Amino acid sequence: MKIKTKILLGFLILAAMLAVAGVFSIYELRTVGASVQALLDDNYRSITAAKTMTEALEREDSGMLLLLSGKWKEGRETIRNADEKFQNALETAANNLTIKGEEAYVEKIRKTYKEYSRLWDQPIVNTSREGNLGWYFNDAHQAFKAVKAAVQEIMAINDQTMYETASELKNRAHRAVMPGVIAILSALVFAFLFNYFVNIYVVNPILSLIKSIDGFLNKGEPISVKVESNDELADLEASVTSLAAMAKASEDKQL
C-alpha cells in the first residue's frame, strides 16, 4: 500500500469517526427534544385548562353572591358565561389525558362540579336562599371549594410531571451526548495512534535514511538502512542503496 493511500485512509477513518459521533449526537438530541416538547405541550395544555377552570369558578362564585344580593340578571349572566368557560376548559382537560390516573382527576372534577352547579341552577332570588349567608357558607361555598380543590389536584400533577419531564430531559440529553463524547475520545486516541505509526513507519525510516546518506557522503560508511514496509520508502531505500553501490564501484575503479 502506498504511503499516500495509508495517510489518506487514516484521515478518512478519523473523519468518519467524528462524522458518526456528530450525526449520532444530533439525531439523539433531536429525538429527545421532539418527544420532550410533546410532553411539555400536553402538560402545559392541561395546566392552562385548570387555570381557566379556576378563573371560571371564581366568576361563578361572584355570580352566586350577586344572586344572594337579589341581582338576578347580573348573577345569571355571570354564572352562564363562567359555566360555558368552565365546560370548555374541562373538555380540553378530558381530551388531553397524558398522565397515568389523570382520568380519575377529571371525573372527580365533573362530579364535584355537578354538585356545585346544582346549587346555583336552582332559584335563589326571591327564595329563602336570597341573602342567606348561612346557606352560602355551609352549602354553596363548601361545594365551590370542593370543585376548586379537585381542579388544583389536576394542576398539581401536571406541574409535577412537567418538573419530572424537565429533569428527564437533562438526563436523556446527557445520555444522548455520551456516545458522541466517547466517539470523539476514540477519534482522539486513533489520531494519537495514527501519528505514532506515521512516525514509526514513515518519519523514522526517512530520518534513518538521511542519516545513513550523510554517513556515506561524509565518512564513506555503507548504506545500512532496512525499510520493513512495502511502499515508496522501500523503493527509495533500494534506489539509494543501488546508487551508493554504483558510486562506490565507480570510486574503486578510479583508484
Question: Mind spelling out the 3-state secondary structure of the chain?
Answer: CCHHHHHHHHHHHHHHHHHHHHHHHHHHHHHHHHHHHHHHHHHHHHHHHHHHHHHHHHHHHHHHHHHHCCCHHHHHHHHHHHHHHHHHHHHHHHCCCCCCCHHHHHHHHHHHHHHHHHHHHCCCCCCCCCCCHHHHHHHHHHHHHHHHHHHHHHHHHHHHHHHHHHHHHHHHHHHHHHHHHHHHHHHHHHHHHHHHHHHHHHHHHHHHHHHHHHHHHHHCCCCCCCCCCCCHHHHHHHHHHHHHHHHHHHHHHHC
Contact by Cβ (8 Å): 49, 105: no
| Range of weakest confidence among 85-89, 189-193, 236-240 | 236-240
Report pLDDT for 2. 66
Contact by Cβ (8 Å): 12, 167: no
In terms of Cα–Cα distance, which of 114, 96, 105 is closest to 46? Answer: 96
Q: Give residue-wise pLDDT tens across range 10-27.
A: 778 777 777 777 777 777
Report pLDDT for 29. 67
Average pLDDT in the chain: 81
Grid cell, residue 165, equals 419531564
In terms of Cα–Cα distance, which of 122, 136, 128 is closest to 61? Answer: 136
How far are the Cα atoms of 16, 134, 137, 142, 208 from residue 127, in angstroms, in the given order?
84, 14, 17, 20, 114
Report pLDDT for 109. 94
pTM, full prediction:
0.58
Candidate ranges 72-81, 128-137, 158-167; pick with highest mean pLDDT = 72-81
Q: What percent of the chain has pLDDT over 90?
A: 24
| CB atoms inside a 10 Å sphere around CB 2 | 10
Range 247-252 contact pairs with CB under 8 angstroms and sequence separation of 24 or more: 248/222
Report pLDDT for 77. 93
Task: Say which residue, 236 or 252, is predicted with more confidence.
Answer: 236
Report pLDDT for 114. 93
Q: Give CA–CA dist 159/208, Å, rounded.
A: 72
**Residue with C-alpha cell 352549602?**
139
Domains of the chain: 3-181 (1.20.120.240), 188-254 (no CATH)
Q: Give CA–CA dist 200/197, Å, rounded.
A: 5
Report pLDDT for 201. 74
Give yes or no for residue 38 having a pLDDT over 60: yes
Mean pLDDT of the region 165-172: 70
